[in-house]
Amino acid sequence: MRVQFVFALLGSFLFASANAETVTLTFATQDFPPFNREIKGSAAGPFADIVRLICQRMQTDCTIETLPWRRVIGEAQQLELSGIFPMSRLPERESDYYFIGPILETNFTVYTLAGDTTEFREGKDFAGYTIGVYGPSGISKTLEQITAGIPSVKIVMELNHVTVLRKLSAGRYGAKGIGFIDRDGAQYLMSDEHITNVYAAGDIKIMDLYICLSRKLISPEIAARFETTFAALNNSGELAAILKKYGLKPAPPRPLR
């Protein structure tokens, strides 16, 4: 009886230990080319490829859902998601997320209509302009910081980047209208939408994009494993190979914080 009890106790301990190591990570992202696309109901693109490969190497189940970004943020705030991507790193987000990466760098860039010869380099260059931007988002918050205190600036928040480009192309922001968009996304969308009268007029800020894990749902140990697995992909060149398929390059690695 005592031997049976010991084996039963040991079996219960091993079962509990195995379950303690089992975790399913639930991710959500948005349709945000070239970084993410939804194709036939499935998340595709470099970020989704990287997340799936990390989960595979960790021997961890993961799911990825493509949703409108405002819903992604809402579900993350309601603690319904293990992680979201892509995200720029802002001070107010540090308490909520582990930032894995950066995965890549992109430029936040001003786009103008043909005929506007203004070169944009800093906040004062935006004076008197109406600016279309996707938001609320990391890029819209960056724009608000850059233009704080600049006279006669009007910021128009749009539901997505393609709306900014379409309205800018159609002249709907007026004679002094511009768009503020990440360069990689803008170049992809202009090609996809056949927009030929909009031009880059200045890179304002380099921004890193990350995969984010919820600090409230994910343990430091799981986050560290995820980061270590990502670092191994980066060091082996596998990360660069994935990004190269989409015409992108990896950013320099940063430590987990």
Q: Tens digits of per-residue pLDDT, 205-243?
A: 999 999 999 999 999 999 999 999 999 999 999 999 999
pLDDT at residue 195 above 50?
A: yes
Average per-residue pLDDT in the chain? 89
Domain ranges of the chain: 2-105+209-245, 106-206
* CB contact set of 191 (below 8 Å; sequence gap of 6+): none
- Residue 72 has what pLDDT? 95
Q: Tens digits of per-residue pLDDT, 26-37?
A: 999 999 999 999
Q: Tens digits of per-residue pLDDT, 132-168?
A: 999 988 899 999 999 999 999 999 999 999 999 999 9
* CB contact set of 26 (below 8 Å; sequence gap of 6+): 62, 63, 65, 80, 81, 82, 83
* Model-wide pTM > 0.85: no
Which CATH homologous superfamily contains domain 106-206? Periplasmic binding protein-like II (3.40.190.10)
Please name the fold of domain 2-105+209-245. D-Maltodextrin-Binding Protein; domain 2 (3.40.190)
- Residue 251 has what pLDDT? 87
